[in-house]
Structure 1
């Protein structure tokens, strides 16, 4: 019997962090059949990989493909960027469970909190489910180009149980008990864990906090215990400043399960905060509690307009603007008192916020009017100095003059490379936070793994390539309990990434129009990628997603404890 695929003479980075070695790898029936030098086998396809590196496919632990997967089983652009397994449902912003009466509310919340187009969601989402188990069944029927692991989401569970009250108050003991029952059902159906958020940046429609933000400590503790009722599950939370690591350690102790903490990003105006969190995470691990900090290897840069200004929506002073649109929004943005309140808040220290008034890191990307074209690619700080204006006033005045259609970009967090290097090499950090599937018009970090290997390994030398591969593969597999992926071993699933270490990386983002209704999203091309295989089936090559790529991904529903 011949093998399906034989990759010869590749430099193999097996995912363990060990030294690479040159060998052949043979695949049969979606599994790695053999690894060794000069394998005496025949194959339907033979690739000479001399000079190239072969590693397990990237496991992206922080995506938001929950809606997109229902209309785009290829979860573009991730497969072409080396991702072979994606965890969806992060932050608890899922679309299941969801009653028909709550669908519009759910889509409107996603429009706000995850920067998604309401028209895209309305046209794209296939609502063939209500319960979480029914959602998993739909995913299994539809297939996907990558393997999927699905969190059950706190905000969705809260909305199912509490309706409108989910965004108004704490839950009663009886409501918490009903939520716990839903989570136990979801775990029994195959959820990888339970995800939540307490971040003040996470607001739904009209600036109303996402439901999970109103949960009490008692609710969080009860729900993580429900998640772990059979001894499994990962608890993932995007924590706000009011949620101490000490509480998360208590949750890990109560459940006996890992706690994944997002989003640990470096803030130039409060540079010690993220390291204080990581120190607390290290101390918890020393006491036997499994806490992991999700960090990013990418600078957080977002495009935005003042009609949808995600970077500033977490500011308390901006909250009055969130429910407004049209003339009412323009009037508020022109109000001197509103502007003074925003300036005052930005001048005050804060534990964490996305935007900190660093106007030299905000640029005009695209002016809506020809007479303003010369402002493009210049910082607000520079333009305000030229005009003799306060930077906030300059930005708001320009946006108002262009009916809020001006496109800006802001480099928000993670811009200090020396500090980011420390985050990436911390013993209890996980390189993550691509947010793939969300913020489609604002930024695209789906190529985070290629960026880690290109920029941080080849260009900066922050870690070895073997260690970078481990952090992108087997580290996540071990946390989630995925036993047959993340390592190149005989018998494991043939999730593979073939690349050139000398050129691997990600290209600059560009705008494409392939969302439902022809809407635009930011897209990033891979650099140095020669092939991506999911369960032995090739889904991408050096040109990107292959034509008629097979939906070879598996819905992962069984995890080791």
Structure 2
């Protein structure tokens, strides 16, 4: 029987180690889950059962997504193939105040499903069956046993903590938590950090609403917290060097100043802050300047450790009928979103008085949030009347002597969810995107994978970043090198969040991607439907299989462009593992005999 030196050999690739150093031709040998050889000369083809000739291709560390909503999917179908096929080997869950750690299964489902646009009838049965834990230690134990696809790390959600302590109804009301309840919240945060969570996520925008019957359409529990509650939890995060991931008020935006101040490091340890989100919005063309400037102020003048999350792709949403999350940004749209009965919602838009009010709010100048509210920039992508496909609502209305809003409402009433349309919120100007992506105060790890199954398809976000880099270089207008682009979706994220990932050195864990730069084409923006593994659901995806030759996790080929996925991915414990933050400080508890390290 032949004895191999390596499990995998990758020869002739342009090798990027995750740093900002330019790539060079190197040859890798992988054995027992580790990179054991990085050679200047090719390794023998007979040295391994699997050999890749990566001539003309990039060999990089596995990509990292630091803002996903895979919380439900990773419990049910842990392979997370849609990310793995695009080179992602590590993901963080528990974002936006929503995690599945402490609260009861129905509570976790109601916090998650409406906000993240994943059907409650799909999520709740999964949690009732598989969520056997009720604390952070049990949560960590589940992931230590779970046969993961990519590596998984987690935040603990503030809404999760609040509901576990106060109950869903009190947590979504103006009721103030008692001192005992505040102490319990502090304890749950400490326990989550002890179990390996990278930090706590929170939410202050009231656009995201609760599902279910008990607190239907109330904003997330985190939005009801007063600043004293946040500050007590922030002290723990700061003391233990953990991350606060959050979002300012998306409409008023004023409270971002309080977050900037909380992050400061003047005469104290700064608190790591990762905030949503640095975008080039059509509704606010100067927002990109404000976010970059605020990052400069927070980090340079206030000596903080503050980063804005940014999406390295056009921010285009695909929508069905009246199912539009952005309607939450103004009162008449919020009224529509509050209807639980679909028939009543569609009947409402036939009311002339409501239409008049809706148009007034759509045209208001000073209340715009993320969405530009321009129906001439809303395009039909699917409809039983195929003659409408490719037209916007203003064009459709002009033919029938209607304004754009009436044209939209009439079609929505007629076809309901069979009317599919898209609109671009922003990230539409490449030159502005280059500035956002190159800023030292932004992180390129936001994609919302696992959520908004029918409207957002950004699973390939690292490839889209590399396309920006390659396109700009070919146009003679480079804004970052390929090495810097790779660093932005690997080591830059891993180092800041304290994850043991994102770099390739001799002896490091073998999470590797082989990227074919010739595959970074415009097809990266094309959307299609694909089944969600293990369910009856479909979701939108963006795929260009020419871009990734192979994704290797823990020294095993998880995905190969020709051979597909390994049959054991997500079924056997041969691939991903739970990632604890190496930066979170150990808790020190006081005892009767003095101080004791936990």
TM-score, structure 1 normalization: 0.93
Residues of 2 paired with 1:394 and 1:292: CA distance? 41
**Structure 2 residue aligned with 1:189:** 195
1:257 paired residue among 271, 278, 290: 271
1:514 aligns with 2:537: no
Alpha-carbon deviation of 1:195? 0.6
**Structure 1 residue aligned with 2:320:** 305
Q: Report the secondary structure of 1:463's partner residue.
A: coil
Residues of 1 paired with 2:568 and 2:490: CA distance? 23
Alpha-carbon deviation of 1:235? 0.8
Residues of 2 paired with 1:543 and 1:202: CA distance? 41
Residues 69 and 75 in structure 1, CA contact (< 8 A), matched pair in contact too: yes
Deviations 1:61-116 (A, max 9, x none): 110111100111111300110001101111122222122xxx33432342221111
Higher alpha-carbon deviation: 349-358 or 283-292? 349-358
Structure 2, gaps ≥5 residues long: 585-598
Residues of 1 paired with 2:535 and 2:6: CA distance? 42
Map 1:274-353; keep pairs closer than 5 Å: 274-287=288-301, 288-324=303-339, 325-350=341-366, 353=369
Alpha-carbon deviation of 1:273? 2.3
1:118 aligns with 2:114: no
Residues 362 and 373 in structure 2, CA contact (< 8 A), matched pair in contact too: yes
1:92 paired residue among 91, 97, 108: 97
**Structure 1 residue aligned with 2:29:** 26
Structure 1, gaps ≥5 residues long: none
Distance change in 2, residues 1:403/1:57 (3 Å) = closer
**Structure 2 residue aligned with 1:267:** 281
1:546 paired residue among 558, 565, 573: 565
**Structure 2 residue aligned with 1:68:** 73
**Structure 2 residue aligned with 1:524:** 542
Residues 259 and 291 in structure 1, CA contact (< 8 A), matched pair in contact too: yes
C-alpha RMSD of matched pairs (Å): 2.1
Higher alpha-carbon deviation: 437-446 or 41-50? 41-50
Flag as ranges the 4+ runs of structure 1 deviating above 4 A: none
1:171 aligns with 2:171: no
Q: Report the secondary structure of 1:121's partner residue.
A: helix
Residues of 2 paired with 1:255 and 1:221: CA distance? 14
Map 1:411-430; keep pairs closer than 5 Å: 411-430=424-443
Residues of 2 paired with 1:177 and 1:274: CA distance? 39
1:159 aligns with 2:163: yes
Residues of 2 paired with 1:318 and 1:402: CA distance? 19
Residues 273 and 351 in structure 1, CA contact (< 8 A), matched pair in contact too: no
Residues 120 and 515 in structure 1, CA contact (< 8 A), matched pair in contact too: no
Alpha-carbon deviation of 1:187? 0.5
Alpha-carbon deviation of 1:400? 0.7
Distance change in 2, residues 1:350/1:79 (3 Å) = farther
1:236 paired residue among 230, 245, 261: 245
Distance change in 2, residues 1:156/1:13 (3 Å) = same
**Structure 2 residue aligned with 1:209:** 219
Q: Report the secondary structure of 2:7's partner residue.
A: strand
TM-score, structure 2 normalization: 0.88
Q: Report the secondary structure of 2:365's partner residue.
A: coil
Deviations 1:148-176 (A, max 9, x none): 11000011111111111111115335232
Deviations 1:208-259 (A, max 9, x none): 2111111111112111222344x23111002214453432233223763310
Q: Report the secondary structure of 2:381's partner residue.
A: strand
Residues of 2 paired with 1:67 and 1:141: CA distance? 16
Q: Report the secondary structure of 2:153's partner residue.
A: strand
Higher alpha-carbon deviation: 402-411 or 345-354? 345-354
Residues 300 and 411 in structure 1, CA contact (< 8 A), matched pair in contact too: yes
**Structure 2 residue aligned with 1:375:** 388
Deviations 1:407-429 (A, max 9, x none): 22221222233222221111211
Residues of 2 paired with 1:169 and 1:541: CA distance? 52
1:498 aligns with 2:492: no
Deviations 1:27-69 (A, max 9, x none): 1211111212116673333222221110101011110111100
Alpha-carbon deviation of 1:353? 1.7
Residues 18 and 61 in structure 2, CA contact (< 8 A), matched pair in contact too: yes
Q: Report the secondary structure of 1:128's partner residue.
A: coil
Aligned residues: 553
Alpha-carbon deviation of 1:346? 2.4
**Structure 2 residue aligned with 1:480:** 497
Residues 99 and 160 in structure 2, CA contact (< 8 A), matched pair in contact too: yes
Residues of 1 paired with 2:197 and 2:132: CA distance? 18
Residues 245 and 281 in structure 1, CA contact (< 8 A), matched pair in contact too: no
Q: Report the secondary structure of 2:263's partner residue.
A: helix
Residues of 2 paired with 1:432 and 1:340: CA distance? 41
Residues 279 and 287 in structure 2, CA contact (< 8 A), matched pair in contact too: no
Residues 421 and 462 in structure 1, CA contact (< 8 A), matched pair in contact too: yes
Residues of 1 paired with 2:542 and 2:29: CA distance? 30
Residues of 2 paired with 1:109 and 1:408: CA distance? 27
